[in-house]
Amino acid sequence: MAVYVYYTCWDEGQDAAAALPLSLLPPALRERAAAAPAERRRRTWAAWALLRRGLAERYGLEDWPETVWSAAGKPSFRDRALPFFNLSHTAGLALCALGPVPVGVDAERLRPVPPDRAARLCLPPDRAGFFAGWTERESRIKLRGGSALACRRPVAPKPMERYHILDVGVLYAAGICVKGEAEITVRRVEEPALRVWAAEG
């Protein structure tokens, strides 16, 4: 049983709004994405474009399956025969996980952490330790379909949950939580190649 993780990185200094085919997004997201600030639009687009590419490569799906959102905001496909998926994005990076079991992913760009914030959240004060702990918490909560507010306190593992650290570059902390045993396959997609693929599709 394999879960696939796709990720892409980009230089934030590049034009974030240029040549993003928003038609690649699920219909429910297109208007909201078009109105978002440029960098936010780029992050959202990249995460969903990775999902679309994964669906085409791994499952042979060319059109968007009907997508629904939970009350906590977690997207899924209405057809339960289709794969589970989860998305995350941060400054300069987007990632997507999909597979036959429930998944939760999170990625954060490493940045300074105020000591009082680390203490309040019961996480290590150094940025590597803080964001390693945070991404594990958020991945677990996203797997369960809960709200990000639950990440404000420690999140205990549940039976059958497996957490894996993802190596997506030295600037980031990232992780995936899966339900049950699964082989995690990670693939980087170069951002220019993702744009070309999306434009041709």
The dihedral through the CA atoms of 23, 29, 33, 34 has a sign that is positive
Place of tokens 């429910």: 28
Q: Looking at residues 178-195, what average pLDDT do you find?
A: 92
pTM of the predicted model as reported, rounded to 2 decimal places: 0.93
Neighbours of 17 (CB within 10 A): 13
The pLDDT of residue 201 is above 70: no
pLDDT tens-digit profile of 77-102?
999 999 999 999 999 999 999 999 99
The pLDDT of residue 17 is above 70: no
The pLDDT of residue 89 is 96
Residue 96 per-residue DSSP state: E
Architecture (CATH level 2) of domain 2-200: Alpha-Beta Complex (3.90)
Interacting residues of 69 by C-beta distance below 8 A, sequence separation 6+: 75, 76
Residues facing residue 96 across a β-bridge: 6, 87
Q: Looking at residues 61-68, what average pLDDT do you find?
A: 90
Extended beta strands in the chain, E state: 2-9, 67-69, 75-77, 84-90, 93-99, 103-109, 161-165, 172-179, 183-188
The dihedral through the CA atoms of 145, 33, 39, 58 has a sign that is positive
Interacting residues of 76 by C-beta distance below 8 A, sequence separation 6+: 67, 68, 69, 70, 84, 85
**Residue 199 binned pLDDT confidence (cut-offs 50, 70, 90):** confident
